[in-house]
Structure 1
Amino acid sequence: MEDERIPWYSTLVIGSAEPVSKWANCKRGMCVNLPASIPFPSDSALYQDLARADFADAYRTPLRDRTATPVEIFLQATRATPEWVNTLMALRNVVARAIGIKDVGIMGANASRPADSYASGDRLGIFTVIESGAHELLLGIDDSHLDVRVSVLKSDAADGPTCTISTLVRIKNLLGHLYMLPVGRIHPHVVRAMMRRGLA
């Protein structure tokens, strides 16, 4: 089979999500099915803020457990965080402390609590819970350089339940723009790796 690799720039369209190949790193007949890049979901509570966002993306994958709540889905993903992601987060936090922005910890922090124990204002991984419902979990980080919002949306499709993880970023200043230069390129790989390991 011909070696097909998704280029690093294929998911970097700010404000939209262009479809990409469903396969990555296909070699010797062994392929990994990636979560699909999709347009930002209009049924998400974050959709109303899309026009004001400086960065936005969304990824969807079939959901194995149709009974899982959005919080349980997010916990499954964070518990499957690859070690390379935690290494990058640790490096990010060292730099963050040096330049005066928040040290947000690591993805899997606080992931051992029962899913139904989380409420608005609680810390969940690196985020704060904004709202938790039966179909959507909203998370956020507010900092001096930018604000981040994440949606974990559970939907019922004709071919089965799906999970969509969407991200919006509003940049506040020059530091925020500089911060997003590397983060905007790394972020899609982080989200898809966590979804693939924890949900697919």
Structure 2
Amino acid sequence: MEFFANIFTNIKALHKPFNDRLDQKVVNHHFRDALGVKRNNKALTPSQIQYRIFAYLPSWVNVLMRIRNYLVAFFGFEVAQEGVNPKTEELSIGDKAGFLTITEKYNDEIISFAEDKHMMFYLSVALNENDIIVSTLVNQKTLIGRIYVNAILPFHYVIARTVISNAIKAGRI
């Protein structure tokens, strides 16, 4: 992963504590990570930042998600609907953003959630004075959930950094 760290120099992997509200949601077997980037536009809300990062997935990510959805449907995983993008940058509780539903919204953080029989997935976009912190939490309920998370970690590593880096390069965040 050292190779990718040299590519994504504007993104820093953070170490605990991540200073978000997801730590309150951790249970038993889980995966947790967070990425930080410099906060250049302090006028943007967490909602706008989430939209500006994740509503612009590269086509190769969409292809990988279609393949993933086809493969995991056999194991009882939730399969994301394609093309579910919010109509506005200012998301509200209950809005769908891809496969996630907005469940909590604060001035400094927005939390999205998805669940199936194998795991609970959370995404947080939080702000502090100087940084944007994008973090994930996956609570794994079953052995299949744990195997799945370990299998997709390399993809998660590259995709998360790619979409954040693309948003930075495009001037969206």
Q: TM-score under structure 1 normalisation?
A: 0.76
Q: Deviations over 1:159-194 (max 9, x none)?
A: xxx211011111111211221122122112111111
The residue type paired with residue 130 of structure 1 is T
Deviation at residue 121 of structure 1 after TM alignment: 2.0
Partner residue of 2:79?
Answer: 103
Partner residue of 1:114?
Answer: 88
SS at match of 2:128: strand
- Larger Rg computed on CA atoms: 1
| Percent identity between the two aligned chains | 24
**Pairing of 1:143-182 with structure 2 (within 5 A):** 143-157=116-130, 162-182=131-151
User: How many residue pairs were aligned?
Assistant: 169
The residue type paired with residue 110 of structure 1 is N
SS at match of 1:129: strand
Deviation at residue 42 of structure 1 after TM alignment: 4.4
Partner residue of 2:157?
Answer: 188
Conserved 8 A contact 1:41-1:58? no
User: Which structure carries more helix by proportion?
Assistant: 2
Are 1:197 and 2:169 an aligned pair?
no
| Counterpart among 43, 61, 67 of residue 19 in structure 2 | 43
SS at match of 1:147: strand
SS at match of 1:131: strand
Gaps of 5+ in 1: 9-20, 25-31
SS at match of 1:33: coil
Deviation at residue 88 of structure 1 after TM alignment: 0.9
Structure 1 CA distance, aligned partners of 2:149 and 2:103?
A: 23
Q: Deviations over 1:67-106 (max 9, x none)?
A: 1111110111113322221111111111122332211135
The residue type paired with residue 122 of structure 1 is D
Partner residue of 1:127?
Answer: 100
Conserved 8 A contact 2:11-2:37? yes
Structure 2 CA distance, aligned partners of 1:124 and 1:171?
A: 22
Structure 1 CA distance, aligned partners of 2:29 and 2:9?
A: 29
Conserved 8 A contact 2:117-2:141? yes
Are 1:80 and 2:56 an aligned pair?
yes
Conserved 8 A contact 1:52-1:170? yes
Partner residue of 1:54?
Answer: 30
Q: What root-mean-square deviation, in Å, do the aligned CA atoms of Structure 1 and Structure 2 show? A: 2.1
Q: Deviations over 1:8-43 (max 9, x none)?
A: 7xxxxxxxxxxxx5x22xxxxxxx524100114443
Q: TM-score under structure 2 normalisation?
A: 0.87
Gaps of 5+ in 2: none
Structure 1 CA distance, aligned partners of 2:167 and 2:160?
A: 10
Structure 1 CA distance, aligned partners of 2:19 and 2:99?
A: 25
